[in-house]
């Protein structure tokens, strides 16, 4: 199950109270203060993991708290610190204040560990307050309260390449061919109901590709799956616009491109300005590959928009390697050297 939006009430732990205590040992007259300090409250820690792709683990949780610190005791014994609570989150998680929608932290890097809510400080015991003028302090500090905040966790996937297209354009087939992703594939629209991430390996390098559920006209206004998934391509460096080039689809390839361009522009002008590759898919259905009026028109339109163009067949693998090479060339900053 893919979950990309969760509301949580988070609370760090309360610090333990300092102790008021005096030595009461035989043959030790007028023993001094020996009250220990309270332990600190547990922290709320946020940690990103590349093996995590969804907020599904938090979908049924409403309140999460770290442990409280233990009180100090006599004999200068400090209380134990409260247990920290670590939330393992996908890379790309945004943490917002639920009341103001203000962005608090963007967890956009892998293996990031961030102390989000520090626990309350433990109170000092009365042994800390002994002085030449106060030999028997009869007071200690209480522990500080923890912090509480209502947050919204919002996931925006971090991928190098986003596959964008109308329903049934062949995006899921393509990502299954070029990466380790194994999405559901069927010959009907809206097969993909959640984004799929896949790692593409090529020439001892790798990059991450995201397959976004099919868009339709009005997606930027929430029609279909609309804005639910458009946000997941905001961080990508390259958009691969997948066009169903088979004329029996019912929507002319150039018209498909126009629809997708408009939806990207209406959702965010930033998306329209991203680097793009126009990918004409399903050319295995043509009697002669790369030779049809529909493909010629789409290629001409791509040239007018100054966008790279390639015709492929995800089903048969035709020109898929060439497409992978184009992706790596277009994403030099996102490409990682394999170890």
Please report the domains of the chain, with CATH numbers, ordered by start residue: 1-155 (2.70.210.12), 161-337 (3.40.50.300)
Tokens representing 250 are: 């019912």
Tokens representing 50 are: 């590349």
Q: How far is CA 84 from CA 12, 40, 70, 143, in A?
A: 8, 10, 13, 16
Strands (E), the chain: 5-11, 44-49, 63-65, 85-90, 93-97, 103-107, 113-117, 148-155, 161-165, 196-202, 205-211, 238-244, 275-281, 308-311, 336-337
Looking at residue 205, its pLDDT comes to: 85
Strand 205-211 to strand 196-202: parallel, antiparallel, or no bridges (unpaired)?
A: antiparallel
CA distance 277 to 302: 9
CB 127 within 8 A of CB 76: yes
CB 89 within 8 A of CB 55: yes
CA distance 335 to 141: 54
Q: How far is CA 177 from CA 17, 159, 172, 195, 304, in A?
A: 60, 17, 9, 16, 30
Looking at residue 222, its pLDDT comes to: 44
User: Helices 293-304 & 253-267, crossing angle to 10 degrees?
Assistant: 30
| Nearby residues of 282 by Cβ (< 8 Å), 6 or more positions away | 170, 244, 245, 246, 313, 314, 315
CB 254 within 8 A of CB 307: no
Tokens representing 263 are: 């939806």
CB 300 within 8 A of CB 247: no
* H or E element, residue 321: helix 320-330
Looking at residue 335, its pLDDT comes to: 52
**152 burial type by CB count under 10 A (0-12 exposed, 13-18 middle, 19+ buried):** middle
DSSP for 24-82, written as a single string: --TT-TT--B-PPPPPPPPPEEEEEETT---SGGGTT--EEEPPPPPPPBTTTBPPPPP
Tens-place pLDDT, residues 135-186: 889 999 999 999 999 999 988 777 788 888 888 888 888 988 888 655 444 4
Looking at residue 212, its pLDDT comes to: 79
Q: Which of 12, 13, 14, 19 is nearest to 141 (CA)?
A: 19
CB 176 within 8 A of CB 250: no
Q: Which residues of the chain have pLDDT under 50?
A: 183-193, 216, 218-227, 339
CA neighbours closer than 13 Å in the CB half-sphere of residue 339? 0
């Amino acid at each position: 199950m893919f979950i990309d939006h969760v509301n949580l009430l988070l609370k760090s732990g309360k610090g333990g109270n300092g102790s008021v205590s005096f030595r009461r040992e035989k043959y030790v007259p007028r023993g001094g203060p020996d009250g220990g300090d309270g332990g600190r409250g547990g922290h709320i820690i946020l940690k990103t993991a590349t093996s995590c792709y969804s907020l599904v683990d938090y979908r049924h949780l409403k309140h999460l708290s770290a442990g409280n610190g233990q009180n100090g005791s006599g004999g200068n014994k400090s209380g134990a610190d409260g247990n920290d609570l670590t939330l393992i989150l996908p890379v790309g998680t945004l943490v917002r204040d639920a009341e103001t929608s203000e962005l608090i932290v963007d967890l956009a890097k892998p293996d990031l560990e961030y102390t989000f809510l520090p626990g309350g400080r433990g109170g000092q015991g009365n042994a800390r307050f002994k002085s030449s003028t106060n030999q028997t302090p009869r007071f200690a500090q209480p522990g500080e309260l923890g912090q509480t905040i209502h947050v919204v966790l919002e996931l925006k996937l971090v991928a190098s390449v986003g596959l964008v297209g109308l329903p049934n354009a062949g995006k899921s087939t393509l990502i299954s061919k070029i990466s380790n992703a194994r999405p559901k594939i069927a010959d009907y629209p809206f097969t993909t109901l959640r984004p799929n991430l896949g790692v593409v390996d090529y020439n001892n390098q790798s990059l991450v590709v995201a397959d976004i559920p099919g868009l339709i006209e009005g997606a930027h206004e929430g029609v279909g799956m609309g804005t639910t998934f458009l946000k997941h391509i905001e961080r990508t460096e390259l958009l691969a616009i997948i066009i169903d080039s088979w004329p029996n689809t019912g929507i002319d390839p150039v018209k498909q491109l126009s629809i997708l361009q408009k939806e990207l522009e209406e959702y965010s002008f930033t998306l329209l300005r991203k680097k793009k590759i126009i990918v004409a898919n399903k050319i295995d259905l043509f009697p002669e590959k790369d030779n049809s009026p529909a493909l010629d028109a789409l290629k001409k339109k791509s040239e007018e928009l100054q966008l790279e163009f390639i015709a492929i067949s995800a089903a048969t693998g035709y020109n898929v390697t060439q497409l992978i090479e184009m992706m790596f060339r277009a994403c030099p900053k996102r490409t990682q050297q394999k170890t």
